[in-house]
Structure 1
Amino acid sequence: MATTACFIIVSRNDIPIYEAEVGSTVKREDAAHLHQFILHAAQDIVQDLAWTTSAMFLKAIDRFNDLVVSVYVTAGHILLSE
């Protein structure tokens, strides 16, 4: 089964700092826009969860079709999404 992952680091002010796609799936034309749309939609969930839990890894916070959003939150609240 071929899989792909999109790794994005987002600053405290919701500005993407770093973005990388890793995987062996043939890339679709709209894949970059789709990943950004999904991650920005999930940021509202992350902002609520980051203040209600002490966990730094928030697994499977959002889903879109076969894509799953998992998030690591640093102590400075910089988000590492995949």
Structure 2
Amino acid sequence: HLWGEAFAQLNLIESLKGFTKPIFLGLGRYDYLVGPVSLWDTVDGSQENVKKVIFEKSGHNPMFEEPELFEAILTAWIHETDS
């Protein structure tokens, strides 16, 4: 029910339009627990407050699979949004 019905009815990209706070969207290229990263293509450039990063060597947990890169990008993003 959760995956096939509840989540299927959510349009997260449409929901982003109501957010003004900075959003970090870290996606693993090989994450097969969620939809493909291409589902987020429409976010590119259309949402100024969203930073989308695709971690090319990761699945569901880029913070563990590419920890140095994840930390560097996340830290840089925090500093960008903090200023």
* Same fold by TM-score greater than 0.5: no
- Relative to its length, the structure with more helix (as a share) is 2
What TM-score do you get using the length of structure 1 for normalisation? Answer: 0.24
- Relative to its length, the structure with more strand (as a share) is 1
What TM-score do you get using the length of structure 2 for normalisation? Answer: 0.24
